[in-house]
């Protein structure tokens, strides 16, 4: 009877133990692989600089945001750098384009940027980034 009771408890606990392997969060060792391989750098809100390759925002190689009532996308090919600023609980991306123009977009502060560094994978919420620089396509 004890043996059957232990087996029953074990069978009940297996789904919980297996579900805790990533503790409900995103696994930092698995990041989206973008179609285009860009190199760039991130400066977070504490001024830590991280250089990475295969950078993306939620797996895409573009920044998506709102301007007025419209939704815009700006391809990384056109971006020199992006400064992120929190204004009245709204995350604003100040985009410096390669042609010298500037674009201001309201972006999703829960979106994440990803990349691969020399020592592993990297992910960060856009809200935690001060500046993102697009160096160019990897060769």
Considering only CA atoms, which of 55, 49, 101, 103 is closest in space to residue 76? Answer: 55
Residue 16 — very low, low, confident or very high, per pLDDT cuts 50/70/90?
Answer: very low
Q: Does the residue 13 lie in any domain?
A: no
Q: Give the torsion sign (CA, 93, 34, 80, 125).
A: positive
How many C-alpha atoms does 105 have within 13 Å on its Cβ side? Answer: 22
First to last CA, the chain: 66
Examine the pLDDT at 21 and tell me if it is beyond 60: no
Q: Does the residue 21 lie in any domain?
A: no
Q: Does the residue 90 lie in any domain?
A: yes
pLDDT in tens, 56-70: 999 999 999 999 999
pLDDT in tens, 111-133: 999 999 999 999 999 999 999 99
Q: Does the residue 23 lie in any domain?
A: no
Q: What are phi and psi of 15, to 5 degrees?
A: -60, -35
Domain that holds residue 63: 38-137
pTM: 0.79
Q: Where is average pLDDT lowest: 16-20, 29-33, 79-83, 118-122?
A: 16-20
């Amino acid at each position: 009877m004890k043996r059957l009771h232990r087996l029953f408890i074990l069978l009940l606990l297996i789904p919980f133990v297996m579900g805790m392997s990533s503790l409900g969060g995103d696994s930092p060792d698995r990041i989206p692989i973008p179609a285009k391989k860009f190199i760039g750098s991130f400066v977070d809100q504490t001024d830590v600089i991280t250089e990475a390759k295969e950078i993306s925002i939620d797996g895409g190689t573009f920044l998506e945001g709102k301007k007025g009532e419209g939704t815009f996308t700006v391809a990384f090919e056109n971006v020199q750098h992006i400064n992120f600023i929190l204004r009245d609980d709204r995350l604003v991306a100040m985009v410096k384009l390669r042609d010298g123009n500037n674009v201001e977009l309201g972006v999703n502060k829960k979106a994440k940027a990803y990349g691969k560094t020399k020592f592993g994978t990297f992910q960060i919420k856009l809200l935690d980034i001060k500046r993102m620089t697009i160096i160019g396509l990897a060769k």
